[in-house]
Structure 1
Amino acid sequence: MLYSTIELIMEGRLARLTMNRPDSMNAMDDTMMGELADAFESLSSNDEVQVLIINGAGRTFSAGGDIKKMIDPNAPMDIEKVMINVSRLAKALYELPQITIAAIHGSAAGLGFSLALGCDVIIAEENSKLAMNFIGIGLVPDGAGHFFLKERIGVPQAKQLIWSGEVMRAETAKEKGLIDQIVPDGSVSQASDALAQQFLSAPIAAMLASKKILHEQKIGELENVLRMESEQQVAMRKTKDHLEGINAFVGKRKPAFVGE
């Protein structure tokens, strides 16, 4: 399948998926969200590939959702259609029959961080910035951000992180249990390749069987979270605080929220 915003390359038992909008810091527009969902769904029936590395082209992993597209008067994003693809990609990612590795450099923010958190292993360069920063534009996490955070750090810490929108360096994120490995800047590609080869040299069929056992019992909860995220995100897009948040972001000023 040909894609315009991502690249999916097969190398025998290893696949590489690259988010490829470098001029936009790999911000996810509606096209990329749909292509990510399509790619993950295509891998769900691929019996040959056993490891998937996900990375970003250019200077960052992903800045998250494309905020400028949200307010583009010429081609505004249809939030209800967008949320369908966001839910598709998150569910398909979680159900993948491969070991998934997120290779982060630069930043992973918003939906980009949700995507990374949905992977089995997260490697980040030491000066990466990581943030579940939906709150800054008056939105709730999507892409199963609530589910993935709860799985990694539990409900109390997940709430604090969501509410604060804290921007973290890799060291802080690792201390919180949000990422698995820190590597020097410029080395995440080599580190993710080395880890992939380590997995491919192990009894990976047994490892994938354990992943299936652990994940399948959670599918119902994941689907419920995705449904609620979609409903609440559609509602939040209509609030005064969201409009203020995105206008402040584009205008590079501090937002003045009113709680409405």
Structure 2
Amino acid sequence: MYETIELTKEGRIARLVLNRPASMNAMNTVMMKEIADCLESLHADNSVQVLIISGSGRAFSAGGDIKAMLDTENPMDFGPAMENVSRLARALYTLPQISVAAVHGAAAGLGFSMALACDHLIAEENSKLAMNFIGIGLVPDGGGHFFMKERVGVPKAKELIWSGQVMKAHDALAKGLIDEVTAEGKVQEQAEAYAEYILAAPVRAMLASKRILHSQKLEELEQVLAMEAETQGDMRTSADHMEGIKAFTEKRKPKFEGK
């Protein structure tokens, strides 16, 4: 059914696996659309009460696919891509299930935005977590501004977005960005244990509380997504973005000029 992701269901648990392991699950336009489609489909599934999101291979997700951005023969269609990114964030935030991010390896950029959007974020201790859009002259998308602010507040969100700091899991936990740290190779096991804990609890009441809390912030999320999409369009034509992309491909430190 899907080309870049896998969705399986077992009892009251669904498992969404990002499945572009050769690209560290970097999100191209196909994956962005498929994740959005998949999450929207779960809104109509009353049999599932917990969703576990993980990545295949060496990482959760390295973020947006920079190689796809640089492909001149088949250039990424930016408008539809941003629309699908916004759909993804909206569907995940309003999901009528408890969402669990099971992070190993890298969770960067859009991948980190998606992990932060989940109700419970578990990361292996040597995971590398970064809101690193700044490194290529872009702003966070996928609701990254909103989800980071929700977890750590505005001053700390600005600091982390502006620095693009790469954090290990214990550092991210200390900053309040994630909910749980587990040993290397154990994140899936821990996510399954958390899912079982949820299913043994009065999950219907928990989901009702989630709906009440999230409904108050939905209008703000919509505004953030619209502003991110508009701003990202501007940033993609900036000299700093061009330099950031060029430096990334040439594996050197970028020389930004604030243009």
| TM-score bracket relative to the smaller structure | over 0.9
How far 1:258 moved relative to its partner?
1.2
Structure 2 Cα separation of the partners of residues 214 and 45 of structure 1: 20
Matches within 5 A, 1:139-218: 139-218=138-217
Q: Who is 2:256 aligned against? A: 257
SS of alignment partner, residue 256 of structure 1: coil
The reply to whether residue 18 of structure 1 matches residue 17 of structure 2 is: yes
SS of alignment partner, residue 167 of structure 2: strand
Structure 2 Cα separation of the partners of residues 153 and 241 of structure 1: 28
How many correspondences in the alignment? 259
Structure 1 Cα separation of the partners of residues 151 and 80 of structure 2: 28
Q: Which runs of 4+ in 1 moved over 3 A?
A: none
**TM-score, normalised with respect to structure 2:** 0.99
Deviations 1:27-82 (A, max 9, x none): 00000000000000000111110000000000110000000100101111111111
Deviations 1:154-213 (A, max 9, x none): 000000000000000001100000001000000001000000011011110000000000
Unaligned runs of 5+ in 2: none
Structure 1 Cα separation of the partners of residues 207 and 55 of structure 2: 25
SS of alignment partner, residue 168 of structure 1: coil
Structure 1 Cα separation of the partners of residues 87 and 160 of structure 2: 24
How far 1:102 moved relative to its partner?
0.2
Structure 2 Cα separation of the partners of residues 143 and 168 of structure 1: 20
Q: Which amino acid aligns with 1:199?
A: I
Structure 2 Cα separation of the partners of residues 190 and 12 of structure 1: 17
How far 1:229 moved relative to its partner?
0.2
Deviates more, 1:96-105 or 1:76-85: 76-85
Structure 1 Cα separation of the partners of residues 11 and 246 of structure 2: 46
Structure 1 Cα separation of the partners of residues 105 and 75 of structure 2: 27
SS of alignment partner, residue 35 of structure 1: helix
Structure 2 Cα separation of the partners of residues 22 and 120 of structure 1: 25
Structure 1 Cα separation of the partners of residues 44 and 175 of structure 2: 34
**TM-score, normalised with respect to structure 1:** 0.99
Structure 2 Cα separation of the partners of residues 42 and 90 of structure 1: 14
Structure 2 Cα separation of the partners of residues 178 and 112 of structure 1: 14
Q: Which amino acid aligns with 1:41?
A: E
Structure 2 Cα separation of the partners of residues 115 and 251 of structure 1: 28
SS of alignment partner, residue 114 of structure 2: helix
How far 1:133 moved relative to its partner?
0.2
Q: Who is 2:48 aligned against? A: 49
Q: Which amino acid aligns with 1:216?
A: S
Q: Who is 1:124 aligned against? A: 123
SS of alignment partner, residue 81 of structure 2: helix
Q: Which amino acid aligns with 2:33?
A: G
Matches within 5 A, 1:33-44: 33-44=32-43
